[in-house]
Amino acid sequence: MENEKYLFVVSGPSGVGKDTVISFLRGAHPEIGKTVSATTRAPREGEAEGVNYFYRTEDEFRRMLERDEIVESNYYSGHYYGTLRSEVDRLLAQNTPVVLNIDIHGAANIKRLYPGATTIFLLPPSWEVLESRLRGRGSNETAEEIQKRLDTAREELSHAGEFDGQVVNHVVEDCAAELYGIMARRAGLAEEH
């Protein structure tokens, strides 16, 4: 699909600062579209169907997965979460740039379903920086739990070369600007000055 050039996946190891970079990017560029995910968890107070999430039963969620109606998903704290293909398609059909913040495994699935999507891997400035961020996260964790997190991050980092682009997160603002530059060139958006 021609409009796949508007689809971007941002991935990277945990601790690299993905959420911070993406929320900065969205703040600077409110025109970037946000997809509403599906989940099997119950709505929290104040949440509404189709606004925060689309709330589905596990059976419904599984059926949607089988039909490729969910383009990436995760199991978290006893519930399923996933990005709906219909949401991505709705935004792409309007020529709205879409940024999906997903783990490295989900990124491969997006590429399978949307070969024209651009996948970007966020890298830490160095292994030492990532390690200290990960060690600093959970103060009441055992050495074993911390080691497991470091091993996962190392494994995740080894996939960087499989992505279309890599951006180093030295400074959030610069990293977000570099990301936007990639998006602007690929999708023909207005460049920043």
* Binding residues for ligand 5GP (CB under 6 A): 37, 41, 72-74, 76, 81-83, 102, 106
Question: What minimum distance in Å lies between the beta carbon of 18 and ligand 5GP?
Answer: 10
Question: What minimum distance in Å lies between the beta carbon of 25 and ligand 5GP?
Answer: 16
Q: Which is nearer to ligand 5GP, 76 or 127 (CB)?
A: 76
Residue corresponding to tokens 């709705």: 90
Strand partners, 53: 37, 49
Say which amino acid occupies 164: D
Question: What minimum distance in Å lies between the beta carbon of 185 and ligand 5GP?
Answer: 27
Question: What minimum distance in Å lies between the beta carbon of 19 and ligand 5GP?
Answer: 8
Q: Which is nearer to ligand 5GP, 6 or 61 (CB)?
A: 61
Question: What minimum distance in Å lies between the beta carbon of 191 and ligand 5GP?
Answer: 30
Using CB positions, name the residue nearest to ligand 5GP: 37
Strand partners, 100: 9
Q: Which is nearer to ligand 5GP, 137 or 185 (CB)?
A: 137
Write the CA distances from 48 to 57, 76, 77, 106, 125, integer angstroms.
Answer: 16, 20, 20, 26, 39
Question: What minimum distance in Å lies between the beta carbon of 58 and ligand 5GP?
Answer: 15
Q: Which is nearer to ligand 5GP, 53 or 180 (CB)?
A: 53
Radius of gyration for the alpha carbons in the chain, expressed in angstroms and rounded: 17
Q: Which is nearer to ligand 5GP, 74 or 152 (CB)?
A: 74
Strand partners, 39: 55, 81
The CB-based long-range contact list for 185-189 (8 Å cut-off, 24+ gap) reads 186/5, 186/8, 186/118, 187/5, 187/6, 187/97, 188/5, 189/97
Q: Which is nearer to ligand 5GP, 72 or 178 (CB)?
A: 72
Residues 123, 21: contact at Cβ < 8 Å? no
Distance CA 41, CA 32 (A): 26
